[in-house]
Structure 1
């Protein structure tokens, strides 16, 4: 089976629960255990090189490289791990709410206000690799290991939260690395579209103006944006306008009709219907949640 079927995914609404953390060093040639586990594994090599086989795919994890091993996958090794290899490991359970239908797309940074489905997405961790961020991991993992051995209230929860933060930063480092490599390629389309939409969030949407701004055919833009972000251009534009509405509710004395007019909605009742569709309640009710002077 191909390794991509064994990527480890986390969700935005549940943090991984750490089972245990440890560190190992081998003086002689080492062979990884042959096993099938009921939890996920994070390995990080600080010195030497470890060999692991997962479901027939062989990995060599070098210095300052990580590897995630998937729960339920068969992994083992040959006597190919170098003498003197040192590594950290974290065993954890990825907690998924089976009642939730998770999206495979993270909300875009420009759409960072709370929506009803804001946390209902999953994201795959980079299976194997390294980055500049990995240079910080030896010290962080050592501190985690030291904290793991201490008795404190809510100790395991605090450790799990720290591991979750570390995983999120590791993933962000990988996304940044990929973005630098692909600068100027197809995935920058989403950024250009969001740049235009952000500048024009207080106006009705114009597909022609967007096409002229990006200098691309709108049909191509629309299909590419949907593929990259999981939502349509119109959906993104609407959410930006609703985000702007919330900002105006928080920071100005404008009423619903005035906010509607400010955002280019000629009919405040239509604005209210759109707002309720996005947030699940009308703007007048939403405004009542804020503390205002």
Structure 2
């Protein structure tokens, strides 16, 4: 039996109204975030009757989902996103039955960008890697402050927003062509860290994965980022903890577990040192 798409609650939702849109210019329809825990989240392009030449970009913050196209099936974990035409009959995306964590993501849908979307997907595929600190991702997340309110944007603002998304996706697709070996190592370490953010990080595991020595990995990463891999992991876990405390219903203990910490006292201590408040205080004063 075919699954039909259903609407599930948003963590936050910001619809956009483009004031006096220009015929040939792209414009966003809305930006939102969801936290999915049910297999009812299942979308097939061929079953969508709401596509109407709309396209979108969806980016994972935590957990993972599955995206499928004619080329195969891809796990969309933290730091990954997919670009797609909403009613493309060859695409499917869903929350897998064996998932243990919520799939937390942000997404934007837009109109009048069909040609750009099709060319990007044709040349580089649907799936892209972007670090959480990428300015485009940070910009999309900033729309959470308008939750529930339709915002108005000029045609120029709409064009800048959509063009910025495509510019970052294009840069991500092409970065391997121009980056130095040390930059490549740092990028791959960051990618590994974000894909295993809920695990206990060890330098040995990362070095084994990249097939380089621990010393070379640590030295190169610090040269490129100014911090050790362990420091980077700690900072990223603090960022994720802040996001979960602000936007998820998980308890502090559950968040600690999600991030791979077993010692609550240690987690509270490093969180307070970084943020100036305990996790519970941060949640109350957010």
TM-score, normalised by the number of residues in structure 1 = 0.38
* Greater strand share, structure number: 2
TM-score, normalised by the number of residues in structure 2 = 0.39
| Structure showing greater Rg | 1
